[in-house]
Amino acid sequence: MPVSMSIRTKVLLFAGVAFGLVAAAGIVLHRNASSAQELRARIAVVDQQLRLYSGMQPQAWNYLAHLLQAGRLGMDSRALLRDYEQLLNENLLNLQEGLREEQQWKDTPGNARQSQLIENLIDAQRQWARGVEVVLRPVTLPANSSNSAWWELFSTYEQGVRPHLDNAAAAQRERKQLLQAQMDEHLENEQVLSGVLPLLVGLVLGPLAAFLLAPLLRELRELHTTAERIRQGDFSAELPAERQDELGSLAHALNRMAQELRDSLREKERMLQAQAEAAERERREEAEIAARDLHRYNAALEHMVRARTGELENANIQLASSLRQLQSMQAQLIFNDRLASMGKLAAGVGHEINNPLAYVISNLNFLHKELNRTQGAPSQEDFQELLTAVTDAKEGAERVRVIVQDLKTLSRPDDAQNGRADLKTVVHAAVKIASHEIRRRARLVAELGEDVPPVQGNASRLGQVFLNLLINAAHAIPEGQVEENEIRVSTRQDTPEFIVVEIRDTGCGIPPENLDRIFDPFFTTKPVGEGTGLGLAMVHSIITTLGGTITVESEVDRGTTFRLNLPAAKALT
Ligand SMILES: Nc1ncnc2c1ncn2[C@@H]1O[C@H](COP(=O)(O)OP(=O)(O)OP(=O)(O)O)[C@@H](O)[C@H]1O
Ligand SMILES: [Mg+2]
């Protein structure tokens, strides 16, 4: 049974059968081919003999012609006979050689008879040649008798030689036909074999392969499927292992491998479960410890929180006291700045009052001197002069009164938010006070709108605001170029609720990096002792307290604009 054979045996059996069949077919084809080759050689030999037979008659005619010519010329004809006999010997040798060649092929038919025929032929030719030579030798043929002599000699050839020549040639032609028939048969066989043999080999080998190898392929497929299942993790896959051949042992090995994998998987699962249980135990213990720790930490944390809360409360109390101190310091500082403003104000006022006062004093001195001189009775002319002096002194005193009036406007100690202030009056007062700083540096232009309503706030505080802004503008312009510089104060009403006041100068401008800091207390670019840096901080504080805003635009070397938005005063009820 092929099932019980090993794969090696099957393969060897198949290879043996295939080799045997191919070898047998080869041998058959080879034998046929070599037989055909032999026949071809034999036919060639027979052909050669036939050519010799067909050349014999022309040789005889040639001999005869030479003899006749020699007889006519009286020459010795025996030499011609010798030549012809030699030619006949050569023919005999060649024909016998052909026969010998044929004898190497065992089944050549009628070889002995052919040999006899050849000998008879050559003998007949030899006798004819000698007879002819004897007839022609002594005669000097007359010219007219040569034809009849020719025909006579020709007929002796036809009678004595021709039958032998025809017999020998006919026997040889017969042999050729026989060989040719065998040759045809071989060629036919060859054709048949070259078609039939491969078919035969295929017919034997095909079923044999199917019979031996098909079950093998089927089982290999089964083996592959099982191995694939094992690869995908299905270790329960098993192969029938009852075969005794190589496939059987492969199936056995595969089954053993699957079994080992099953075992190791079970072992691994057992280990994983043990690990999981250990981890769970550990986790539970840790959770218990953590719960205990948490409790402890909670207690510690509560304690800490309580302690920190107490610390924070203390810190809060300290902060509140610091804040109070800071607030009082700020109030003090603002008060100081107000004092400084007042100082500036006093200086400005002193300067302003000095001129009219000097004027009044000089007029009064003049009056005093004149009244002493005239002793109470001045002449009409003196009286006029005295009157002018009195009028001038009065005018000077009047100017002092106006200045003092302005001073009162700017220094009334009212509270910041309350009251209404007429911008025109306040700005005029501030301009006047600042004029001794401005006049050496720039032209002052005031565009104070006629219909601008009063603003909310205290006139003295607003006066401080404008005074500070005007003095800052003046300080931004160097002294001495009055015509090229300008400080412009303008007021207008954009919306019913707010009045806009702009103070614009053509001074040095504020660098962008300082713009954010100019409202900070103590920020100043002035040398120590010249500026406190509290001016704008105070301005900002007053404006925002009133509910207004202050903004600044500035370009270095081109100038600065401060823009104030002040709430319009509420209508009087
Ligand atoms: N119009 C302006 N042009 C250029 N710089 C200005 C202008 N106004 C304010 N500054 C800048 O803002 C700074 C702060 O001004 P602020 O009025 O607060 O203080 P201060 O003028 O320096 O000192 P003071 O307390 O005497 O007023 C000034 O030092 C100056 O550098
Ligand atoms: Mg200032």
Phi, psi of 482, rounded to the nearest 5 degrees: -60, -40
Determine whether the shortest distance from the Cβ of 510 to ligand 1 is under 6 A: yes
How much distance in Å is there from the Cα of 522 to the middle of ligand 2? 10
Tell me how far apart the alpha carbons of residues 538 and 41 are, in angstroms, rounded to a whole number.
145
Q: Which two tokens stand for residue 558?
A: 């081109």
Identify the domain boundary among 153, 187, 209.
Answer: 209
pLDDT band at residue 551 under the 50/70/90 scheme: very high
Q: Is residue 105 a part of any domain in this protein? A: yes
Q: Is the CB of 560 under 6 A from ligand 1?
A: yes
Average pLDDT over residues 16-26: 85
Q: What confidence score (pLDDT) does residue 344 get?
A: 61
241, 255 Cβ separation under 8 angstroms = yes
User: Helix, strand, or coil here: 54?
Assistant: helix
Question: Pseudo-torsion of CA 297, 303, 306, 311, nearest 10°?
Answer: -100
With 0-12 CB in 10 A as exposed, 13-18 as middle and 19+ as buried, what is 433? Answer: buried
Residue 562 pLDDT grade (very low, low, confident, very high; cuts 50, 70, 90): very high
| Length, in residues, of the chain | 573
pLDDT for res 4: 64
User: Last residue of a domain, which of 190, 209, 228?
Assistant: 209
In angstroms, the CA 412 to CA 417 distance is 13
pLDDT at 456 over 80: yes
Give residue 562 CA to ligand 2 midpoint distance, Å: 13
Q: What CA–CA distance (Å, rounded) separates 246 from 551?
A: 103
Please report which confidence band the pLDDT of residue 401 belongs to, taking 50, 70 and 90 as the band edges: confident
Answer for the pair 255, 261: CB distance below 8 angstroms, yes or no.
no
Q: Which two tokens stand for residue 70?
A: 């020699």
Token pair of 432 as six digits: 């006047």
- Pairing type for strands 443-448 and 486-493 reads parallel
Q: Is 524 near ligand 1, meaning CB less than 6 Å away?
A: yes
Question: Average pLDDT in the 98-102 region?
Answer: 81
Per the structure, the complete domain to which residue 73 belongs is given by 7-209
Q: Is the CB of 531 under 6 A from ligand 1?
A: yes
Give the pLDDT band (50/70/90) at residue 110: low
Distances (CA, A) of 168 to 49, 123, 127, 172: 10, 13, 17, 6
**CB of 534 sitting under 6 A from ligand 1:** yes
Task: Name the more confident of 418 and 516.
Answer: 516
Report how far ligand 1's centroid is from the alpha carbon of 534 (Å): 8
In short, whether 508's Cβ falls inside 6 Å of ligand 1 is yes
Whole-number Å distance, alpha carbon 533 to ligand 2 midpoint, is 6
Using the mean position of ligand 2's atoms as its centre, give its distance from the Cα of residue 448 in Å.
23
How far is ligand 1, taken at its centre, from the CA of residue 409, in Å? Answer: 24
Q: What SS3 state is found at 448?
A: strand
CA distances from 559 to 423, 474, 562 (A): 24, 11, 10
* Cβ 455 vs Cβ 569: under 8 Å: yes
Phi, psi of 470 (to 5 degrees): -65, -40
Q: DSSP letter at 495?
A: S
**Is 185 among the domain residues?**
yes
Whether residue 518 has its Cβ less than 6 Å from ligand 1? yes
pLDDT given for residue 435 in this prediction: 86
Ligand nearest to the CA of 537: 1
Which pair of structure tokens corresponds to residue 46? 């027979």
Mean pLDDT in residue range 178-202: 85
Question: Where residue 445 sits, what CATH number does that domain have?
Answer: 3.30.565.10
Q: Which atom of ligand 1 has the smallest separation from the CA of 507? A: 3
In a domain, 35, yes or no: yes
Residues contacting residue 18 through CB under 8 Å, at least 6 positions apart: 201, 205
Distance CA 301, CA 306 (A): 8
For all residues of the chain together, what is the average pLDDT?
83
Cα(431) to centroid(ligand 2), Å:
15
Which residue's entry shows tokens 């301009």? 431
Six token digits for residue 180: 């040719």
Residue 443 has which token pair? 């032209």
- In-domain check, residue 165: yes
CA–CA gap between residue 540 and residue 549 (Å, rounded): 8
Atom 17, ligand 1: which residue's CA is nearest?
535
What 3-state class would DSSP assign to 104? Answer: coil
3-class secondary-structure state, position 237: coil
Cα–Cα distances in angstroms (integers) from residue 128 to residues 51, 87, 119, 163, 346, in the given order: 21, 14, 14, 13, 190
Query: Residue 242: inside a domain, yes or no?
Result: no
Asked if 239 contacts 225 with a C-beta cutoff of 8 angstroms, the reply is no
162 phi, psi to nearest 5 deg: -55, -45
CA atoms within 13 A on the CB side of 500: 13
Give residue 120 CA to ligand 1 midpoint distance, Å: 166
| Site to substitute for ligand 1 among 487, 536, 554, most atoms within 8 A of C-beta | 536
Evaluate: CB of 519 within 6 angstroms of ligand 1: no
Is 116 inside any structural domain? yes
Predicted local confidence at residue 490, as pLDDT: 96
CA of 538 to the centre of ligand 2 (A): 10
Please state, in angstroms and rounded to a whole number, the distance separating the CA atoms of residues 53 and 98.
Answer: 12
Asked if residue 390 belongs to a domain, the reply is no
Q: 518, 520, 541, 555: which to mutate for ligand 1, most atoms within 8 A of CB?
A: 518
User: Residue 140 pLDDT > 60, yes or no?
Assistant: no
Higher pLDDT, 374 or 406: 374
- Enter the tokens of residue 307: 């302690």
Has residue 108 been placed in a domain?
Answer: yes
Give 507 Cα–ligand 2 centroid separation in angstroms.
Answer: 14
With CA atoms as reference, report the closest residue to 431 among 460, 452, 395, 406.
406
Which residue has the least CA distance to atom 1 on ligand 1? 473
Q: Is residue 549 classed as helix, strand or coil in its secondary structure?
A: strand
Asked if residue 2 has pLDDT above 50, the reply is no
**Which residue, 376, 375, 470, is CA-closest to 431?**
470
pLDDT confidence of residue 517: 93
- CA-closest residue to ligand 1 atom 13: 524
Choose the most confident range, by mean pLDDT, from 13-27, 115-129, 259-273, 499-513: 499-513
Quick check: 1 pLDDT over 50? no
- Mean predicted confidence (pLDDT) in 271-275: 90
Q: Please report the pLDDT score of residue 346 as a whole number.
A: 66
Each residue of 60-72: pLDDT tens digit?
888 888 887 877 7
pLDDT category, 45, cuts 50, 70, 90? Answer: confident
Share of the chain above pLDDT 70, in %: 88
Q: Decide: 308 in ligand 1 pocket, CB within 6 A.
A: no
The total domain count for the chain is: 2
Tell me the mean pLDDT in the region 377-401: 81
**How confident is the model at residue 359, as a pLDDT?**
77
Rounded distance, CA 396 to CA 88, Å?
192
- When pLDDT is cut at 50, 70 and 90, the band that residue 553 belongs to is very high
Out of 209, 225, 253, pick the residue that ends a domain.
Answer: 209
Atom 9 of ligand 1, residue of closest alpha carbon: 472
